[in-house]
Structure 1
Amino acid sequence: MNTVADIPQRQSLREQVEQLLPTWQSWYPSLFHAAEDLGLIRARVCAPSSLMLSSRHAGVQEEAMRAFKEQWSVEDEPELPPPQHLQLMKRIQQQARFGKNTKSTGRPPMKRQGR
């Protein structure tokens, strides 16, 4: 049976570097340079499109949403069509903007070219 003392504690990157090389600050300009040389971290090659913050954040956002739904047993709500009164309001606003001819074509009337 494992006890708490048997389970290794999770160390920070700084603690790992200092355990392997206590004088790292005299050899390296930053903790990350030391960690890279010691093999604690390494760069990953990725597609240029994945460097866009919006793409990376979208993935993080989706994962967070999925985890939230899973944790709280949330189900997606079906998309409802817009209420009838909103459709009616749009039609009235279009008619007010473009005149009454919009009902037949859905577009404003064409202006006539004078000679």
Structure 2
Amino acid sequence: MAELQIDVNEDLAASAAGMLEGALIANIHRVEVPPLDQAKAIQEPVGVHGSQGKVAKRLGKTAAWVSQRLALLELTPELLDKVEAGELMVEPARRIGRLPKEQQAAAAETVSR
């Protein structure tokens, strides 16, 4: 590639949180970022902007997409390890993450059968 166009949003780049958000936006739309990494990266902007809906709009995603990613962070550490290892698929893991922690292991067992 001989040329690469880069647009800089000066307002967004004004803070560390803004730079993180800018990087997250760029990466989500350009490369396949693992869902757990997406979820971890989304946490801070949700805290800064106060709602999943606002973050979704800024990322160009749906509120459901943001909610599903954040649900992964509610998994028990054992289930997070299984997601990262590929032993538990992301789609069922999102649903399991919405359950109380004491019900998650049993729910994961029914999915993996």
TM more than 0.5: no
Q: TM-score range by the shorter chain?
A: under 0.3
TM-score, normalised via structure 2 length:
0.19
TM-score, normalised via structure 1 length:
0.19
